[in-house]
Structure 1
Amino acid sequence: MNDQNKMLAAASGALDHLFKLTTNDNILVITDSYSAAIADAFKEAGLEKGCSVSLFKIENDTRPLQEIPAELENLLPGKTTVLNIIKSFPEEISFRIKWIHKVEANKLVRMGHMPGITEEMMLHCVNVDFGGMKTTADKLIEALANAVQLHITTDAGTDIVLGVAGRKFVGDIEINPGKMGNIPCGEIYCAPLETEANGIIVFDASIGDIGLLKQPLKVYVTDGRITKVESNDKELETRIAELTDVDDEARVIGELGIGVNPGARITGNMLEDEKSLGTSHIAFGNNVGFVGGGKNNSKIHRDYLFYRPTIEIYYAKADLSSTSTLSGKQTDRKMLMNRGKSVYAEQKEPS
């Protein structure tokens, strides 16, 4: 089987497991010159399932987009599934957020969001055991139900407490009407309480739209807001300071995610990186529209990834006077991950 046929098989599996398509579905594929082969695979897979498929190509001379093109918006009525198969431009984050919100406002439409997807991803982390991945995700989500706080540490120096009371964890291994999910999929996530994150996070893997890190980035967070960033890579330090100064809420915590995709690798492309087993990511910026709640309306959403987290769940509020000596009865807490290893599933080391 050649690579194009393998991509077709991967696209077909993703459409089956994530969307459960029928012949009544009407698919809109948004693509560009960079992602044409992948778009063709999804288009052919949809047609083979008896769906109607329309294609909208973003021309290179119109990029980076800031607003939704009128001709694209006009194609949305009557569609049941939207697939964004496009190259990721940092300058288009605002456009992508607007487009996601536009589609999600139509409660009958599902969106598969793939900014930056590559043919390698199709072969390695889209062509996976969706059933096994969903089982792992469901076990983690069950353990996190009714969580009040999460204490996250790493050997690299992360030591932070996140408030999550009332904020539901969800998985992305099924995309329901009115919702968006990534392809490749493979994470569970929530929107932490925007004012209840305190501590230090050391990001040592990758950052969205920046790529693999040459040096770790240390981020200080008080009451949910970035107060300081430090790195031996001064160019990175300056860049992050600029990116988090886009608007007032760009510095405010927006997401905690945990990867559960056994085929995902650490490549510098966040679409794949954040799904990798043994990793966790925290985003700062927009989380409006998150299933479990979210109030951050920033124009950006940027993910920061770190390796091998230890995550402890607290089911009652603990003493935050020192994050390293959290109090609480043993019965009020549970270990979720230990140095990147989930207590609920066999895992490989992140690579």
Structure 2
Amino acid sequence: MKNFMMARGAEKIVTTCVKVQPGEEVLIITEVEKFSIAESLAAAAYAKGGHVIISVIEPRMQDSAEPPHAIAAAMKQSDIFICVVGKSITHTHAVKDAITNGSRGVVLTQFSENMLVHGGIECDFEHAKLECKAVAAAMAGAKDLLLTSPGGTHLRYSAEGRRGNSLYCMVEKGEFSTVPTVEANVSPLEGTANGIIVADASVPYIGIGVLEKPIICEVKDGFIQSITGGKEAEILKRDLEAKHDPNVYNVAENGIGLNPKCKFMGFMLEDEGVYGSAHIGIGTSITLGGTVKASCHYDLIMKDASLVADGRNILKDGKLLLKI
């Protein structure tokens, strides 16, 4: 019964997000548990005249692990790639190389069948694009950015020389986007972030999800120095320590959620998109304009954020102040 209900969301992704054209090669990367979603997308892409390939991979051991070499090569040669996976392969050389080679792609990490029916997928992406591009432009190249939140976040960094990334679920050649999150982000210049991160909404990885108690991270010279809070903070702390990789503590991203249809539910691409939220990505930054490759990329999400870029108020208590 749910298969036909997923059809509308699948058609939106194929028609609006990646704009499949007749004769294009469409590579869908998935896992066994996500196969029903992949099938819905394949049917929609086939109906548009796409040459569809479904590749089923073994779930990665951890988020941000590279896909198999054969899959990476296929992504690079595809016209379109769609990743429907549980463990993220977004922040990988495979994605970076594919878009550099001209492919266009969307990422549906942690997607459930229901997410193809309700929630962020119902957003008017064309309308959201305007706000998203404006926020990304305001963040791009800013020498001094200050992120704060009612929960206690107070993080200052520079993005001088960095591009702004606008992910609004629609892509052209050489671009990728997440779905259904709508977000503008920038990768802080390495070594410049200092202050406090207080995640009080969600950390949608490693079984944490929507937070019961805030996670507090002290940041100095671009790296997290300490992680405190309750049991969820301990889970995050232990997971990062076990990776034996100092780059996992790198402040890699500041993203702003701009999808009015998203709600906090413990799934990454819904939670990151909640309108007026902010997230600090830690670890890998190479797909966002930074230079760091780590063994993971996690997002620490906070509610009702405020952002000032070079003295210009971008967001205040979760409300966008830019005139579009």
Is the pair's TM-score, using the shorter chain for normalization, greater than 0.5? yes
Gaps (5+ residues) in structure 1?
A: 315-332, 347-351
- Give yes or no for contact 1:9–1:127 (8 Å, CA) kept in 2: no
What residue is the counterpart of 2:273 in the other structure?
A: 275
Q: Does 1:255 align with 2:233?
A: no
What residue is the counterpart of 1:72 in the other structure?
A: 71
Identity %: 25
Superposition deviation, residue 302 in structure 1: 0.7
What residue is the counterpart of 1:25 in the other structure?
A: 24
* Whole-Å separation in 1 of the counterparts to 2:91 and 2:198: 28
**What is the one-letter code of the residue matched to 1:108?**
G
- Give yes or no for contact 1:258–1:280 (8 Å, CA) kept in 2: yes
- Show CA shifts across 1:149-168 (max 9, x none): 11121121111112111112
Aligned pair partner of 2:108 in 109, 114, 117? 114
What residue is the counterpart of 2:224 in the other structure?
A: 226
Aligned pair partner of 2:167 in 172, 177, 188? 172
Gaps (5+ residues) in structure 2?
A: none
What residue is the counterpart of 1:42 in the other structure?
A: 41
- Give yes or no for contact 1:94–1:299 (8 Å, CA) kept in 2: no
The change in CA–CA distance for 1:303 and 1:338 in structure 2 (over 3 A counts) is same
**What is the one-letter code of the residue matched to 1:84?**
C
**What is the one-letter code of the residue matched to 2:265?**
T
- Give yes or no for contact 2:248–2:295 (8 Å, CA) kept in 1: yes
* Whole-Å separation in 1 of the counterparts to 2:23 and 2:186: 32
What residue is the counterpart of 1:197 in the other structure?
A: 193
* Whole-Å separation in 2 of the counterparts to 1:249 and 1:266: 28
- Give yes or no for contact 1:68–1:95 (8 Å, CA) kept in 2: no
- The SS at the match of 2:233 is helix
What residue is the counterpart of 1:182 in the other structure?
A: 178
**What is the one-letter code of the residue matched to 1:270?**
M
**What is the one-letter code of the residue matched to 2:164?**
F
* Whole-Å separation in 2 of the counterparts to 1:268 and 1:345: 31
Superposition deviation, residue 198 in structure 1: 0.8
- Show CA shifts across 1:98-146 (max 9, x none): 54245345x1212211121112222221232111110111232343345
The 5 Å alignment of 1:82-231 reads 82-88=81-87, 97-105=92-100, 107-123=101-117, 124-173=119-168, 174-209=170-205, 210-231=208-229
Superposition deviation, residue 212 in structure 1: 1.3
- Give yes or no for contact 2:83–2:107 (8 Å, CA) kept in 1: yes
The change in CA–CA distance for 1:95 and 1:41 in structure 2 (over 3 A counts) is closer
* Whole-Å separation in 2 of the counterparts to 1:84 and 1:94: 8
TM-score of the two chains, using structure 2 as the length reference = 0.89
* Whole-Å separation in 1 of the counterparts to 2:215 and 2:261: 26
- The SS at the match of 1:138 is helix
- Give yes or no for contact 2:140–2:159 (8 Å, CA) kept in 1: no
The change in CA–CA distance for 1:95 and 1:133 in structure 2 (over 3 A counts) is closer
**What is the one-letter code of the residue matched to 2:53?**
S
Superposition deviation, residue 236 in structure 1: 2.6
- Give yes or no for contact 2:18–2:172 (8 Å, CA) kept in 1: yes
* Whole-Å separation in 2 of the counterparts to 1:342 and 1:77: 37
The change in CA–CA distance for 1:77 and 1:223 in structure 2 (over 3 A counts) is closer
The 5 Å alignment of 1:332-343 reads 333-343=311-321
* Whole-Å separation in 2 of the counterparts to 1:67 and 1:142: 30
- Show CA shifts across 1:165-224 (max 9, x none): 111212112323333321224111111112111111111011131211111011100111
* Whole-Å separation in 2 of the counterparts to 1:152 and 1:77: 36
- Give yes or no for contact 2:181–2:257 (8 Å, CA) kept in 1: no
- Give yes or no for contact 1:187–1:259 (8 Å, CA) kept in 2: yes
**What is the one-letter code of the residue matched to 1:252?**
N
- The SS at the match of 1:244 is helix
Superposition deviation, residue 244 in structure 1: 3.0
* Whole-Å separation in 2 of the counterparts to 1:109 and 1:63: 22
* Whole-Å separation in 1 of the counterparts to 2:261 and 2:32: 26
RMSD, aligned CA: 2.4
- Give yes or no for contact 1:164–1:191 (8 Å, CA) kept in 2: yes
Aligned pair partner of 2:291 in 287, 291, 295? 295
TM-score of the two chains, using structure 1 as the length reference = 0.82
- Give yes or no for contact 2:283–2:298 (8 Å, CA) kept in 1: yes
Superposition deviation, residue 70 in structure 1: 5.2
- Number of residues paired by the alignment? 316
* Whole-Å separation in 2 of the counterparts to 1:188 and 1:77: 25
Q: Does 1:238 align with 2:216?
A: no
* Whole-Å separation in 2 of the counterparts to 1:119 and 1:74: 28
Superposition deviation, residue 307 in structure 1: 0.4
Q: Greater CA radius of gyration, 1 or 2?
A: 1
The change in CA–CA distance for 1:17 and 1:238 in structure 2 (over 3 A counts) is same
**What is the one-letter code of the residue matched to 1:136?**
E
